[in-house]
Chain A
Amino acid sequence: MSESKFRAAVIGLGRMGSTFDDEIEQGGQFFMPYCHAPTYTASPRTDLIAGADPHAEQGEIFADRWGLERGQIYADYREMLEAERPDFVSICTTARLRAQIMIDAINAGVKAIWAEKPFTLSLAEADEVIELGNRKDVAIAVNCSRRYNVFFNEARRMVDEGELGEILQITAYAQCNLSHNGSHSIDAMRYLAAGDVEWVFGEMESDEKAAGDEDLMGNGYMAFDNGARGFLRGTPTGAAPWEFDLIGTEGRVRSLAQGMEAQYYRWVPGGLRDQGLPARAPFPLPTQIPSSGLSVIEDLVDCIETGRQPRCSGEDGRKALEIAIALRESHRRGGRRVDLPLADRSLRILSVEIREDAVPARVRRMQRN
């Protein structure tokens, strides 16, 4: 790993870009630093050197909070890219502009991009960014942060090392819109199942919603190429908030209550006709618990140096979107299985966050008060 520090900049100075961590008081799902600016500040590998946002209020708060000079804050991200020549750039704007900004950043010569989710709105946008990123050797990590959470990493390690046997089922309960937070749940399912989805069946919350391009809730059945089957309940989940249940022939891992609790089950002798019983064993914690954000940086630095893909790559971001769109297509076709990849690349989901994005959420809140 090279010794020099990378220059890092944030585009989009709202909550995820800057102050999300200040609201979090409990770990499990999050280990600090988590979001972009505090991570660049804390990492020994990066210096936070600039921010860009068209809204002056956002820039001021950002400069204040992270000790930057006014000269380091830009209204126009293109100017920032030009003047500051960052190595790392975080894309924390509304998803509406994400593809365009990523393309501009790649063309401006950045080494790595840390993008918020969802990756893009349409498949065509995702195709374009990935193609360009590959051509210019830019590492793109999408912030589906469960891939950088120690409990999920440990579950995946157990899968990779065969400790759960053959993976049979991944079930997710995640009340969410399919593109916005659904990209988290779909990506976590792919990560845990360690496979790719070949076809899906989906039911959306209503025919009207399914007919449009707006973000929406829905349930889905997924067939993975390694034989695993997935079920996502994205409609309301009641007393099962954000839960993943990974079931193999030899073991099972459940992540409950937004990641606050992880359970591990394995066979012990006993049961009806001595078929064995699943017993709950302590979840095997690793010897170090890394911060989520710092893990992303370490991953991206390693990608820059070795040319490999990040743990949650642009490709992973595209697949989460494609699965969500395929689930909706299944509903649109009257409830019919849909094979991946999708031929029509113009399909898109307008992630819920882009509603009202003319004014940033924080500025809207300030104006109301």
Chain B
Amino acid sequence: MYRAAVIGLGRMGSTFDDEISSGGAIFLPYCHAPSYAASPYTELVAGADLHAEQGAIFADRWGLDQEHIYGDYREMLAAERPDIVSICTTARHRAAIIQDAIQAGVKAIWAEKPLTLSLAEADAIIELSARNSVAIAVNCSRRHSPFLTEARRMAQSGELGDILQITAYTECYISHNGSHAIDTMRYLVDGDVEWVFGEMESDEEAAGEEDLMGNGYLAFDNGVRGYIRAMPTGIAPWEFDLIGTEGRVRSLSNGAETQYYRWVPGGLRDEGLPARAPFPLPLSIQGTGLSVIADLVNAIETGSDPRCSAEDGRKALEIAIAMRESHRQGGRRVDLPVADRSLRILSVEIGGDAVPARVRRLQQEPVVA
């Protein structure tokens, strides 16, 4: 059993699963603490958070003694010597904490997304983790969706023919949840982005460093073309459409429905018709978090890269930044990699992060006399 600790005891670190009532995109256990509690590979041994309220709730919810809850994560790393550590703080401190955890000798890190705010931070983390052989998994959890994983398997095994197009409709900020969207596109297509074109929601937003909405056109090195609409999507919430010469998989309504199309005879002049066939479900569907942990344990034991690695996290950020650069340059295609490593996007979650979201909510609730 690996000793696991969580840094940042808010929603994703602790109680996100308690809010979830339907599956599709998410199969429980999903977030960090419940996954460590349920996995046969791990034991949840400690938590760290600056905010005492968060620690108290965490200890209570996960049955830890108060002595295993730390105000300072460095103390926790030194005292508890965890093998696996989850980074669920605001993205503002993620890079620094990841580096401290690597230096403290952890074997693996399960980091929330986005991986970092700047490209330079991402570079530093990847370099340091490679040197210390620490496996880092970024929680772009759609890589552990049984449906999207099956779609990728179909693409890789040739069942969809040559892959041509990936379209994503995902209303989101391009760093915060956009990292999910962009990473999923890369995952399904199994290629790297060579250049992008982007349009941001406004010139003002594009000029600044705050997280923002935008659309992008992505040219992949394997010939696939991608289109992401991260501006408002109305009645097409969180949709991925993977199109090949022989077949097509669509994931609709944030994963609630998956469709598979393949050619059947028929049509005008017998060119064939795309018919909707049952989507081939895998034989077992496990909790998303359990799949992440199994993947990390495998990375620790074999040296393989996690399914969503730090490199993947960096690429999602770099694509988002390149899309914004395209807009900044007056609407011009931008090649990757981006030369200026100081570029960054301040993921929307860091707005107001001096006080954790849950604590803000608690403070807002009226006191009942």
Q: Which residues of A contact B (CB under 8 A)?
A: 24-28, 30-32, 256-257, 260-261, 282-289, 291
Contacts and interface: CB of A to CB of B under 8 A. Distances in A.
A287 B28 contact: yes
Contacts of A25: 283
A282 B27 contact: no
Interface in B10-42: 17, 20-24, 26-28
A288 to B, nearest CB: 5
B283 A24 contact: yes
A28 B281 contact: yes
A287 B23 contact: yes
Classify the interface of chain B: helix, strand, loop or mixed.
Answer: loop
Contacts of B285: 27, 31, 289
A283 B257 CA distance: 7
Contacts of A28: 278, 280-281
Contacts of B62: none
A291 B281 CA distance: 13
Nearest to A256: B278
Contacts of A31: 283-285
Contacts of B96: none
20 contacts: A25-B283, A26-B283, A27-B281, A27-B282, A27-B285, A28-B280, A28-B281, A31-B284, A32-B284, A256-B278, A257-B278, A282-B252, A282-B253, A282-B256, A282-B257, A283-B256, A284-B256, A286-B22, A287-B23, A289-B285
Contacts of B24: 282, 285
A88 to B, nearest CB: 22
Contacts of B27: 287-289
Which of B26, B253, B256, B278 gathers the greatest number of chain A CB atoms within 10 Å? B278
A295 to B, nearest CB: 12
Contacts of B282: 26-27
Contacts of A261: 278-279
Interface in B145-165: 146
A257 B276 CA distance: 12
Interface string B202-246: 000000000000000000000000000000000000000000000
A65 B227 CA distance: 49
Interface in B265-319: 278-285, 287
A288 B287 contact: yes
Nearest to B256: A282
A161 to B, nearest CB: 13
